[in-house]
């Protein structure tokens, strides 16, 4: 099967990475809309236009299914894309349900971090009405993290200061909160920093496994067990030839090793943060 996965930028690589673990034999097209990132501070109309163009592009490349590896684009566009096109289109939404259902002290709260658009959209409000019966979730916008991730700046003092300041909005500590929901795929890159700020007890919950698991169900794919040693990406061509993936940036295919090296670094970063849960 050929699977198209897209995001405004490098966040969606976290879903591609999970797919490499679970379905290493499939073919992928990864599309990062770098000309328009970040989506999370743009208007609905703009985001809808970007998404429609990408979905069209991927359909022309003859994909069997599309994963919108972006919570923001999903909130705005997934329903409309499903109405318009006749192939499986999967989206992502903040993994609030698993966070709420986790066995933990029920007096503890759940922090849902996402972009301003995801937090504002009705889709998240509807999800909370369904799953957060006891009103344990607090919603926090983290718009700057997308920019830091795109700059590959994950561990700097500025990042630490930004996240710590944002956490002060709800006085987030590991005694008060049981988990952080990473409601934006770009937020995966900062898992070690959340731990450094909040400590070991806090659970970090992303939507990557859930999304890829759902993809397997929709396409009838047999899911592999995770390789014990993880995946190591050594050369740029490993991520192209080895994992049968074409990489596109806003419509342009990336084939040169220098530009592919960025994706290689990011995928290795995602391997590194994978065990922060």
Residue tagged 């966040």 (tokens): 11
Give min distance, CB of 21 to ligand DGL, in A. Answer: 19
Give min distance, CB of 257 to ligand DGL, in A. Answer: 25
70 is catalytic: yes
Task: Tell me whether residue 11 or residue 221 sits nearer to ligand DGL (CB atom).
Answer: 11
Among the listed residues 13, 184, 254, 267, the single catalytic one is: 184
Q: In what order do the strands lie in the sheet with 109-114?
A: 137-141, 109-114, 177-182, 203-205
Task: Tell me whether residue 221 or residue 269 sits nearer to ligand DGL (CB atom).
Answer: 269
Give min distance, CB of 199 to ligand DGL, in A. Answer: 25
Residues near ligand DGL (CB under 6 A)? 7-9, 11, 37-40, 70-72, 115, 118, 146, 184-186
104 is catalytic: no
Among the listed residues 10, 16, 70, 202, the single catalytic one is: 70
The residue of the chain with the least Cβ separation from ligand DGL equals 40
Give min distance, CB of 188 to ligand DGL, in A. Answer: 9
Task: Tell me whether residue 29 or residue 221 sits nearer to ligand DGL (CB atom).
Answer: 29
Question: Cβ neighbours of residue 51 under 8 Å, at least 6 residues apart?
Answer: 68, 73, 76, 77, 81
Task: Tell me whether residue 63 or residue 149 sits nearer to ligand DGL (CB atom).
Answer: 149
Q: Hey, what long-range contacts does 191-196 have (CB within 8 A, 24 or more apart)?
A: 191/273, 191/276, 192/154, 192/155, 192/273, 192/276, 193/154, 193/155, 193/159, 193/160, 193/163, 194/163, 194/276, 195/276, 196/160
Q: What is the C-alpha to C-alpha distance for residues 106 and 42, in angstroms, rounded to an integer?
A: 36
According to DSSP, residue 121 is labeled S
Active site (catalytic) residues? 70, 184
């Amino acid at each position: 099967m050929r699977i198209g996965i897209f995001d405004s930028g490098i966040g969606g690589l976290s879903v591609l990475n999970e797919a490499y673990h679970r379905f290493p034999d499939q073919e992928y097209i990864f599309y990062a809309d770098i000309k328009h990132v970040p989506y999370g501070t743009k208007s609905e109309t703009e985001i809808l236009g970007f998404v429609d163009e990408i979905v069209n592009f991927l359909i022309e490349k003859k994909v069997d299914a599309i994963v919108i590896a972006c919570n923001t684009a999903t909130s705005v566009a997934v329903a409309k894309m499903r109405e318009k096109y006749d192939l499986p289109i999967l989206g992502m939404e903040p993994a609030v349900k698993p966070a709420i259902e986790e066995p933990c002290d029920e007096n503890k709260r759940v922090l849902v971090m996402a972009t301003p658009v995801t937090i504002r959209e009705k889709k998240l409000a509807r999800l909370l009405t369904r799953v957060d019966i006891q009103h344990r979730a607090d919603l926090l916008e983290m718009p700057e993290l997308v920019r830091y991730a795109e700059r590959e700046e994950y561990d700097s003092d500025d990042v630490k200061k930004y996240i710590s300041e944002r956490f002060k909005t709800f006085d987030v500590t590991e005694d008060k909160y049981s988990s952080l929901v990473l409601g934006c795929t770009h937020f995966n890159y900062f898992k070690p920093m959340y731990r450094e700020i909040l400590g070991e007890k806090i659970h970090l919950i992303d939507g990557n496994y859930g999304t890829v698991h759902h993809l397997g169900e929709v396409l009838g794919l047999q899911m592999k067990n995770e390789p014990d040693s993880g995946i190591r990406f050594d050369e740029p061509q490993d991520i192209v030839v080895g994992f049968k993936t074409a990489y596109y940036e806003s419509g342009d295919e990336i084939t040169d090793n220098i530009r592919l090296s960025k994706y290689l670094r990011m995928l290795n970063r995602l391997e590194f943060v994978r065990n922060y849960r």
